[in-house]
């Protein structure tokens, strides 16, 4: 399979003998947990619920303040369940590649959907398809440009938005500019096992089916987190926690075995100050060993999936990134099966991380024998001074510069944006409207950031 060869190119051929561990959680102690318990919500094609967190985020920790996060009501998620994306089969058709840098995305042609997917595991690192990118994706699309060097351009998606009958521009832009999908919440615990012992894989299956039809990879997200936990999980007796965690990982990873090229196994286990582990139910009951346990369980359930530790606020050089570094270094040294680190890159464009420090951080992680990826990019520009055009120009520069860091490193397999359009973004819920964080505007027109991303993947 092509993906295997490509992973080998990244030094990932040996899936055994790696490692990982750690994690944390936070349902009980985190502010986000108070708005809604245990499940995720989000964009379902309709505006997010207002959760009152608009003013909560601290600019001192611009991106991440976990305490600022909240989740919308469980009901929002349920709207996704049972949807089908059959209407997407027609998808974008392959017409001429127009230059999306200066034009509305509606005119962008389609690029990606050749339907010739050989599965969702993909061809990570495979740059052998030449200047037109993989599957004939035009190089004036973000994915086509990324593929010229063997990288991948990803997006977090909601199942409901893959229904082209209700939101046709979403699927057009998605399949034109992206070749990797991440479930925004449909593979999290709140969806996959909302009721104890009853698994729901249907929404995730729909994302995988869409990706398969359009020749896209899928990265699983996320197995062990302090959010998206049903009440029955947070209420578990201490003695049950380990077995329940093992069973969840075995069932979820097992269900999608062979269909995902990677998993974000443990998410956001380190505290914002980098002092230690988040006080999640996992950490409370299992100690830091829950991290190693989770990676080992994931490896056992799908030996060929690339296993990743993912976190926010650890992009540049700071106490948290230092702690993430020591965590993954120690896991690696202990033989825990960890293969990569994801840096989320939820960023305030008025106070972004120092890119030179991000480069140094990437290189020290790569030097451990790990891959890296930018996993959840969005760049808020409401606080950037100047006119609208100046804000968007600044955003273009920041998008360009972060993608350039990935483009310059073969071990950076992908960069993903957390959503694709300002019409549907979790930032509206977290920080209020008007932050314009994503590459496409509310009408799906390509913002200047799109050209910045394309230039960066092409080394310009």
By CB under 6 A, name the binding residues for ligand XIL: 40-42, 71-72, 184-185, 267, 344, 376, 426
* 407, two tokens: 């483009």
Specify the residue, 7 or 182, whose C-beta has the smaller distance to ligand XIL: 182
Specify the residue, 40 or 88, whose C-beta has the smaller distance to ligand XIL: 40
**218 closest CA partner among 244, 189, 184, 247:** 184
What are the b/e assignments for 30-54, b being 16+ CB within 10 Å? bebbebbbbbbbbbbbeebbebebe
Least distance between ligand XIL and beta carbon 156 (Å):
7
Specify the residue, 267 or 361, whose C-beta has the smaller distance to ligand XIL: 267
Least distance between ligand XIL and beta carbon 44 (Å):
9
* 356, two tokens: 């030179």
Between helix 289-301 and helix 238-255 the angle, nearest 10°, is 30
With H, G, I as helix, E, B as strand and everything else as coil, classify residue 80: coil
With H, G, I as helix, E, B as strand and everything else as coil, classify residue 65: coil
From residue 267, how far is each of 17, 227, 295, 310, 358 by CA, in Å? Answer: 21, 9, 11, 5, 19
Least distance between ligand XIL and beta carbon 271 (Å):
15
**227 closest CA partner among 423, 40, 403, 65:** 40
* 368, two tokens: 């451990």
Look up residue 354 and give its DSSP letter: P
451 preceded by a cis bond (ω within 30 of 0)? no
Catalytic entry in 22, 71, 167, 268: 268
Specify the residue, 164 or 375, whose C-beta has the smaller distance to ligand XIL: 375
| 78 among known catalytic residues | no
Measured distance between the N- and C-terminal CA atoms of the chain, rounded to whole angstroms:
31
Cα separation, 245 vs 251, in Å, equals 10
Q: Report residue 427: phi and psi, to 5°.
A: -60, -35
Cα separation, 278 vs 460, in Å, equals 40
Specify the residue, 6 or 76, whose C-beta has the smaller distance to ligand XIL: 76
How many Cβ atoms are within 10 Å of 60's Cβ, its own excluded? 8
Which residue is at the shortest CB distance from ligand XIL? 42
Least distance between ligand XIL and beta carbon 40 (Å):
4
3-state helix, strand, coil in the chain (%, to 5): 40, 15, 50
For residue 198, count CB atoms less than 10 angstroms from its CB and return exposed for 0-12, middle for 13-18, buried for 19 or more: exposed
Least distance between ligand XIL and beta carbon 11 (Å):
26
Least distance between ligand XIL and beta carbon 103 (Å):
28
> In terms of DSSP H, where are the helices of 334-370?
355-366
Specify the residue, 63 or 134, whose C-beta has the smaller distance to ligand XIL: 63
Residue length of the chain: 460
Least distance between ligand XIL and beta carbon 59 (Å):
17
Least distance between ligand XIL and beta carbon 418 (Å):
6
Specify the residue, 376 or 455, whose C-beta has the smaller distance to ligand XIL: 376
Would you please indicate which residues are annotated as catalytic (active-site) residues?
268, 376
């Amino acid at each position: 399979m092509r993906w295997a060869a490509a992973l080998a190119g990244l030094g990932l051929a040996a899936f055994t003998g790696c490692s990982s561990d750690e994690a944390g959680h936070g349902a009980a102690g985190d502010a986000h947990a108070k708005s809604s318990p245990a499940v995720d919500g989000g964009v379902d094609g309709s505006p997010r619920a207002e959760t009152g967190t608009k003013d909560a985020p601290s600019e001192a920790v611009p991106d991440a303040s976990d305490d600022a996060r909240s989740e919308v009501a469980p009901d929002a998620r349920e709207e996704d369940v049972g949807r089908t994306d059959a209407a997407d089969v027609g998808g974008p058709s392959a017409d001429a590649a127009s230059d999306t840098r200066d034009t509305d995305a509606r005119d962008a042609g389609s690029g990606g959907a050749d339907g010739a997917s050989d599965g969702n595991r993909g061809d990570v690192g495979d740059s052998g398809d030449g200047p037109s990118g993989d599957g004939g994706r035009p190089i004036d699309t973000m994915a086509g440009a990324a593929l010229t060097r063997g990288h991948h351009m990803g997006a977090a998606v909601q199942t409901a938005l893959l229904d082209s009958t209700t939101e046709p521009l979403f699927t057009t832009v998605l399949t034109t500019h992206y070749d990797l999908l991440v479930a925004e919440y449909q593979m999290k615990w709140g969806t996959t096992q909302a009721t104890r012992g009853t698994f729901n894989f249907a929404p995730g299956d729909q994302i995988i089916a869409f990706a398969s039809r359009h020749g896209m990879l899928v990265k699983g997200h996320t197995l062990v987190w302090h959010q998206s936990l049903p009440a029955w999980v947070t209420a578990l007796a201490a003695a049950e926690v380990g077995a329940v965690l093992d069973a969840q990982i075995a069932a979820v990873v097992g269900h999608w075995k062979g269909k995902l090229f990677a998993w974000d196994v443990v998410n956001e286990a380190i505290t914002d100050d980098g002092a230690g582990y988040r006080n999640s139910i996992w950490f409370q009951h299992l100690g830091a060993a829950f991290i190693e346990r989770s990676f080992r369980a994931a490896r056992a359930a799908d030996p060929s999936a690339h296993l990743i530790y993912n976190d926010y606020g650890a992009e540049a050089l700071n106490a948290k990134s230092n702690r993430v570094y020591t965590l993954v270094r120690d896991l690696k040294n202990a033989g825990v099966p960890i293969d990569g680190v994801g840096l989320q890159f939820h960023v305030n464009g008025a106070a972004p991380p120092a890119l030179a420090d991000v480069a140094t951080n990437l290189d020290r992680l790569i030097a451990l024998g790990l891959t890296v990826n930018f996993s959840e990019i969005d760049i808020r520009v409401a606080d950037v001074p100047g006119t609208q055009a100046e804000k968007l120009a600044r955003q273009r520069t920041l998008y360009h510069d972060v993608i350039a860091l990935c483009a310059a490193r073969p071990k950076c397999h992908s960069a993903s944006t957390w959503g694709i359009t300002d019409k549907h973004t979790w930032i509206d819920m977290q920080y209020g409207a008007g932050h314009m964080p994503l590459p496409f505007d509310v009408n799906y027109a390509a913002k200047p950031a799109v050209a910045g991303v394309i230039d960066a993947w092409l080394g310009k």
